[in-house]
Structure 1
Amino acid sequence: MRPPMQRKARHGLGLYLLAFQVMNVGLDKIPPVTLATIAAQVAIFLEVGDLERWFPSASAVCISPFLVWQRKQWMRLIFATFYHAHDLHLYYNMISFMWKGIMLEKKFKSIYFGYLLAVFCAMTSLMYIGVNMVLSLILDDPSYETSCAVGFSAVIFALKVLTTHYTPPGTQYVLGFIPVPSRMVFWAELVIIQLLVPNASFTGHLAGILVGLLYVKGPLKNIMDIVLPSGLFSQSTFFIYRFGFESYADSSGGSGTTPSAPMPDYDEYTGGLSDEEQLRYAQQESLHQNIGSNQNSNRMYPDLDDLRQRRQQRFQ
């Protein structure tokens, strides 16, 4: 998040850099919710169609305790998150979000990741209001109540907490040379960004970290899972992909689908591997099994019918 600027440069280097990076990664490599979120924020920045009516200026949508809590302008809680005052502000935020989105959307699947983004957008704004009100009381500084900010940075910091939580512990290098334990890297980035970019919203970034910690360490994930369980889509998708479903007819004559074996534990089979790694491993394993059982065969690829029979026998 950043303090608002009255006018924004709509056609600058940041937009060209963002377009280049997205095309370099490949549109087909960016999951749909991540890509749609980036496209929506670019459209808002460029004031496509009638969006200028909803996002006329930074001062019209920025978020502060005074405007939200005292003036009851609740729509700012959402609008401020998607507004960027400068093209480079948009570029840095979207590039950072793209890599986190690729990882997390792949893990959670698109439906839950979209749900996660919606909750984080609201929660980081509310947390920003709360943090500024608390600091205003503790420090007896009314400027925290009128401090107004825009941008997606708070959500990105919340996602950063998740990416470090779901990757193996180790050491990361901030700025390329400062070693930091991976579980603490977001705290280091919070301080370093503030030193390098003094006009960045420290409390906005802090709010994002706190929301992320509430998800991985606190009750937020459990509360969200009441509405939409985080493992629902990843487990069912993996089961369909790896084992398949077979049709059945029940005793009443109805039809439906049922798994050919009880639902396996997702983590037990994936071992933390990505979808591509799982597919590559399965292909290699199948090829080795086929070569071992068909040494006299000249086939280069595994027999798919034989592979299906082996899997059915394994889970009967």
Structure 2
Amino acid sequence: MTIPVLICDDSALARKQMARTLPKEWDVDITYATNGAEGLEAIKAGKGEIVFLDLNMPVMDGYDVLRHIQQQDLPAMVIVVSGDIQIQAHQRVKALGALDFIQKPVSADAITNILEEYGILTLALKNAEPEADNPMIKVDLRDACQEVANVAMGRAADLLSKLLDVFVLLPIPNVNVLEVSELTMALKATEADAKVSALCQGFIGAGIAGEALLLFHDSSFADMAKLMNMNDTTNTEIEVMMDTGNVLIGAFLNGISEQLDMHFSQSHPVVLGRHCTVNDLIHDNSDRWSRTLAMEINYRIEGHNVQCDLLLLFTEDSMPTLEFKLGYLMD
């Protein structure tokens, strides 16, 4: 008996990776959804007896999908597949009825082990090749970079959540190739008139270089200092920025380097500006950047007035190496 399987993820790369890792002997009919709303409709149409569900998606996220499945008692066994590896994320999806949780990037062994553990794999076997490498799933550089950023974002959030005992709210990473003049517009989560302070840290690897920019909203300093148990002194703001930067930039770059199978060296962090607007910050430092591939992640902490943007700016010269390194994922 062929089992209807739904892969619900906004990333074409993630959908392709997920399909490739399904056991070859498993007799399945795969349906793909690019957001939670599409996924929910597919489940209602009987196309998702087994569901592999991402959490961070547009239109409707994975948490909302789980709530609807639970509230409407829909016949779906859900395995969450996410880059958000925070302990609280695990606990929340389990409480909403998810069967289990797999962290990205997925591996064939992890998938097979879970399917066998819950007796799912024995439901239907076949000897033919799977439908995994669906030629309809096309992955471009931007999509590949966005998924790599998604995984790295989750690693950084997990470290921050453990250090501060908080839950970090994660967005969908924003990835674009753009000119410096477009940087301000690219910062989706930053209001034009918001006052920010910024930290910059360079990084370099074999054929890849760039700068990590941490934009810290001025309204966030007080709450962040309390979470870090810091006294309110004249140097507190810089300490908060430096400590937050060490965690977020370091963990994010480690997440990127693991996926690209390369090492990054980091320069000493430098304060770029304090209590200024993003427009001023970009204008005053425009000579630092030219055409760039930018990864933007907006981190917020649940229950606290803490918001900061992490922006990774890769040099234009890094593009060929990035494309080469990610080529095996895109093929």
Same fold (TM over 0.5): no
TM-score (norm 1): 0.25
The TM-score normalised by the length of structure 2 is 0.25
Higher strand share: 2
